[in-house]
Amino acid sequence: MNKIAIYNKILVKIKQYDTIIIHRHIRPDGDCIGSQMGLKELLKASFPQKRILTVGDDIPNYLSHLGQNDEIKDEDYQNALAMVIDTATEDRICDHRYKLASYSIKIDHHDDSFDFADMNFIDPTVPATGALMVEFYLANKDQLVLNKAAAEAFYTAIVSDTGRFQYRGVNGDVLRAAAVLVDTGIDIEEIYSKLYLKEFAVFVLQSFVYKKMKQTPNGVVYIHFTQKIMEKFGVSIEDASGLVNVLSQIKGALIWVAFIDYPDGSTRVRLRSRFVAINDIATGYRGGGHLMAAGATIYSLKEKKKLLEELDLRLKEYKLANPEKQ
């Protein structure tokens, strides 16, 4: 079935339900919240008589202007449609009550994505769920209303997952989707200022990253944020996590990693790379994600060492086969 037919089918389903509850993944990012809240605004504007609700755990501060979660009771799922967006696997769904709904639809773009809903649409060639949302809108344009609130949220989603249109998955379709959003009159400068301005304390921590970053023999660059360091610099886990990309532009360091300690004793690993795939390695450490942007969770320094060795070997082999790649 072609994509437009699938998007048409999704809209047919949406029209059949008075209540639609939109789910997403845990530890949300800009693509996740932007797609969720954008879809809420799109459906609210298009079907004012329907109840369009969003559910999930805490929304990070820098995304809270896009919308808030609704209080949802179990009864709300009766005769409702649940939509789960931007979520690869069932264990990553925030709030498993989506199962209580009469029908569920999944829309996602992760590489290691699995079917868990009644209808599943996965397109890993599209770099952001926000872009899938725009495709959904365009396929049903005559029946949907795209307002500025939805456009702002979808734009936030796309720039978040494409690193402001710089990653390889960005093609003409993604730029055309962004153009549709810009045409609604959204203020791009305002969007970027909400997403990318950081507190003074974060920059102080950033200078610490450059001072303390380490490199494996073959060029995997990494930094470890302990609870003590985050306390000392007065930054949140969220702020520290965001700093992984501080390591993204080092020549020869095709893989970069941030380790972030959580209060529960686990260490969250954020893995990033260019050219070389790393998500299969993340899968071995309770994680996964995209080919070149993945996450994992580890529980000891021994695991950290093992993970770094695996990444180092991966990079060594990649460089031997591709000596021209920096």
Q: Contact residues for Mn ion (CB under 5 A)? A: 31, 86, 129, 161
Amino acid at 55: V
Q: How far is the CB of 29 from Mn ion (least distance, A)?
A: 7
Pick between residue 278 and residue 315 the one whose CB is nearest to Mn ion.
Answer: 278
Q: Strand ranges (DSSP E) for 155-200?
A: none
Instruction: Give min distance, CB of 59 to Mn ion, in A.
Output: 15
Decide whether 95 or 161 has the Cβ nearer to Mn ion: 161
Residue 320 burial (CB < 10 Å; 0-12/13-18/19+)?
Answer: exposed
The least CB distance from residue 23 to Mn ion, in Å, is: 14
52 Cβ contact list (under 8 Å, min separation 6): 20, 22, 40, 43, 44
C-alpha 54, offset from chain centre: 17
Decide whether 290 or 314 has the Cβ nearer to Mn ion.
290
| Shortest Å, Cβ 191 to Mn ion | 17
Q: How far is the CB of 222 from Mn ion (least distance, A)?
A: 23
Between residues 160 and 216, which has the closer beta carbon with respect to Mn ion?
160
The closest of 31, 127, 134 to 86, measured between CA atoms, is: 31
Considering the complex, state which of residue 219 and residue 289 has its C-beta at the smaller distance from Mn ion.
Answer: 289
Instruction: Tell me the residue number closest to Mn ion, measured at CB.
Output: 31
DSSP 220: E
Q: Quick one: 86 or 111, whose CB is closer to Mn ion?
A: 86
Q: How far apart are CA 209 and CA 103, in angstroms?
A: 47
Question: What's the closest the beta carbon of residue 143 comes to Mn ion, in angstroms?
Answer: 26
User: 64 is written with which tokens?
Assistant: 């809270």
Give me the phi and psi of 220, to 5 degrees please.
-80, 120
Tokens representing 95?
């709030």
Strands 19-23 and 80-85: parallel
Among candidate residues 123, 206, 186, 130, the one with its CA nearest the CA of residue 162: 130
In the complex with Mn ion, which residue's Cβ is closer, 101 or 159? 159
Do 302 and 260 meet the contact criterion of CB atoms below 8 Å apart?
no
The CB-of-270 to Mn ion minimum distance in angstroms stands at 14
CB of 324 to Mn ion, least distance (A): 30
Angle between helix axes 172-182 and 129-139 (nearest 10 degrees) is 70
Q: Which is nearer to Mn ion, 132 or 209 (CB)?
A: 132
CA-nearest of 136, 143, 145, 134 to 182 is 134
